[in-house]
Structure 1
Amino acid sequence: MSFHHRTAVIALLALGLLPSVATASSDDAWAAMRADVSAKCLKAAAGSIDKPKAVVDPFGSESFGLALVSGKPKGAKGKITQICVYNKQTKTVELGGELTEAMLKAKAK
């Protein structure tokens, strides 16, 4: 095998590995973002929900991470859900109002 042929084969093999490396770091970055969204949304909801649970949108929107945080309202019965919006630039969260089970099951008019 000539030097140029060997070099070409090595270059092609190296290029074949690049997409998997980029995908891995991208997957890691998405996982880190989802973990941060969950942690910050749960912390924000802890003031109004006993033992809150978060369901994080896997990718959110272009600018925001999104999650639904649910649980028993503090000092009350039932279950509430709040929409949590995570700003991807500032890494801060804001919670929407308390949505009751009846509100979530209501049919659109």
Structure 2
Amino acid sequence: MLKPLALIALTLAGIGGAAAASGDAWEEFAAEVEEACLAATADYFTDASVVVDPFGSESFGLAIVSSDTASIVCVFDKETKAVEIGGELPVTVTATEE
């Protein structure tokens, strides 16, 4: 009986470590998407803010880059790191503090 309990304890300890590591990985991913999207929209906006979907979709990182007067949707390919942007939309989006 002791061996199965030890195995369960080790498994649960490993899951806790993986969850912490994945949290750091998601933060790094969001920062990578933000940087890439700001670079891709630099010709449109000089002082922009970015709202990043913290996880994106299965294949893409997703963000909205905004200035005072417009926003652009930005899509970041998770595999190739390529960025595509849409056209300017007459809507602004601001991040909220959680």
Q: TM-score, normalised by structure 1?
A: 0.74
The alpha-carbon deviation at position 10 of structure 1 amounts to 4.5
Cα-Cα RMSD: 2.2
Name which structure has the greater RCO, CA cutoff 8 Å, separation 6+: 2
The alpha-carbon deviation at position 16 of structure 1 amounts to 2.2
What is the distance in 1 between the residues matched to 2:4 and 2:80?
A: 45
The alpha-carbon deviation at position 9 of structure 1 amounts to 5.5
What is the distance in 2 between the residues matched to 1:62 and 1:15?
A: 26
What do the CA deviations read for 1:39-88 (whole angstroms, capped 9, x no partner)?
0001111111021110001111111100000014xxxxxx1100000000
Does 2:31 align with 1:35? yes
SS of structure 1 residue aligned to 2:43: coil
SS of structure 2 residue aligned to 1:91: coil
What is the distance in 2 between the residues matched to 1:15 and 1:34?
A: 29
Which ranges of structure 1 fall in alignment gaps of 5 or more residues?
73-78, 105-109
Does 2:90 align with 1:100? yes
What is the distance in 2 between the residues matched to 1:9 and 1:64?
A: 40
The alpha-carbon deviation at position 32 of structure 1 amounts to 1.1
The alpha-carbon deviation at position 8 of structure 1 amounts to 5.7
**How much identity, in percent, do the aligned residues show?**
41
The aligned counterpart of 2:51 is 55
Does 2:28 align with 1:70? no
Which structure has more strand as a fraction of its residues? 1
SS of structure 2 residue aligned to 1:24: helix
The aligned counterpart of 2:14 is 18
Which structure has more helix as a fraction of its residues? 1
Q: TM-score, normalised by structure 2?
A: 0.82
The alpha-carbon deviation at position 13 of structure 1 amounts to 3.0
| Greater C-alpha radius of gyration | 1
